[in-house]
Every structure is written in structure tokens, then in C-alpha cells.
């Protein structure tokens, strides 16, 4: 197992379609900064299995590569950075909620 293993569990909210992250309080959070970062495969895969069992809450759960930044966990790949922010052509998605 790689010592660099660093993953976040994400999905979309069943009702709203919104991007959500699995948080430390065992709930789906809106902000990636609340996400749990898994550092070993076994725990991550177990959480993913739990997420699949929560099909009444979320759709399409999967694990993404994470990095750690000053503001907390963040996605490693630009695709996930877009999911975290929203599209670049309108201030919609998460960036909109962030502005209130």
C-alpha cells in the first residue's frame, strides 16, 4: 500500500444533484474542507461500500485523489476542482452557494 494514499469520497446528492463529500461526522457535507481524507485503501473502500448502500441519499459515489492545502483537503485533479467550484462560464454550482 502506497504511503501516499490520500482519497476523498464524493458523490452527488440524490435530490438536488449537488456535489457532496463524506465528512468526519459520518454525513455528506457540502464543502470539501469538511471531507475525511482516507490514508489507507481498506478504510476508503469500506466507506465507498457504505456510500453505495446509501442510495437513498446519494448517486454515483466514488473516491478521488486528494491533496492537503492550507485551507484543508482539496482535489488533486482539475476535474474535481471544477466539481468543487462549479462551471467556469457562470457563477453557478458551489461557487454560488459560497457567495450565499
Partner 1 sequence: MYRYTEFDENFLRARNAQFRAQVARRLSGELTEDEFKPLRLMNGLYLQLHAYMLRVAIPYGTLNSAQMRGLARVARQWDKGYGHFTTRQNIQFNWPKLEDVPDILDALAEVGLHAIQTSGNTVRNVTADHFAGAAADEIADPRPVAELIRQWSTDHPEFQFLPRKFKIAVTGSPNDRAVTAAHDIGLRIVARDGEIGYQVLVGGGLGRTPMIGKVLVEFLPETDLLPYIEAIVAVYNLIGRRDNKYKARIKITLHETGLDEIKRLVEEELIARRAAFKGVDQRLLEEIRGHFAPPDFNTGGNSAPTLSPALRAFIDSNVTAHRHTNYAIVTVSMKSHGATPGDATATQMEVLADLAETYGHDELRISHEQNVILPYIPRSALSDLYQRLKAAGLATANIGKISDIIACPGMDYCALATARSIPIAKEIATHFRDIGLEEEIGALKIKISGCINACGHHHVGHIGILGLDRAGVENYQITLGGDHNEAAAIGERAGPGFSADALIPALERLLRAYLTLRDGVDEPFITTYRRVGLDPFKAALYPQEGAQDVAA
Rounded Cα distance between 20 and 55, Å, is: 13
Q: Which of 46, 55, 72, 98 binds partner 1 (CB under 8 A)?
A: 55
CB of 81 to partner 1, least distance (A): 10
**Interacting residue with partner 1 among 19, 47, 64, 74 (CB under 8 A):** 19
Write out the binding residues for partner 1, residues 57-76 only, by CB under 8 A.
59-60, 76
Which phi and psi (to 5°) does residue 3 adopt? -75, -10
71 Cβ contact partners less than 8 Å away, ≥ 6 residues apart: 33
Q: What whole-number distance in Å separates Cα of residue 83 and Cα of residue 85? A: 6
**Residue closer to partner 1, measured from CB, 60 or 72:** 60
Cell numbers linked to 81: 476542482
Of the candidate residues 1, 2, 15, 26, the single one contacting partner 1 (CB under 8 A): 15
Amino acid at each position: 500500500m502506497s504511503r501516499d494514499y490520500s482519497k476523498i469520497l464524493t458523490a452527488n446528492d440524490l435530490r438536488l444533484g449537488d456535489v457532496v463529500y463524506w465528512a468526519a461526522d459520518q454525513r455528506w457535507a457540502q464543502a470539501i474542507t469538511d471531507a475525511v481524507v482516507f490514508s489507507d485503501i481498506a478504510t476508503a473502500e469500506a466507506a465507498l461500500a457504505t456510500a453505495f448502500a446509501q442510495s437513498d441519499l446519494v448517486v454515483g459515489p466514488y473516491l478521488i485523489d486528494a491533496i492537503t492545502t492550507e485551507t484543508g483537503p482539496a482535489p488533486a485533479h482539475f476535474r474535481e476542482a471544477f466539481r468543487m467550484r462549479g462551471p467556469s462560464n457562470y457563477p453557478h454550482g458551489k461557487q454560488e452557494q459560497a457567495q450565499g
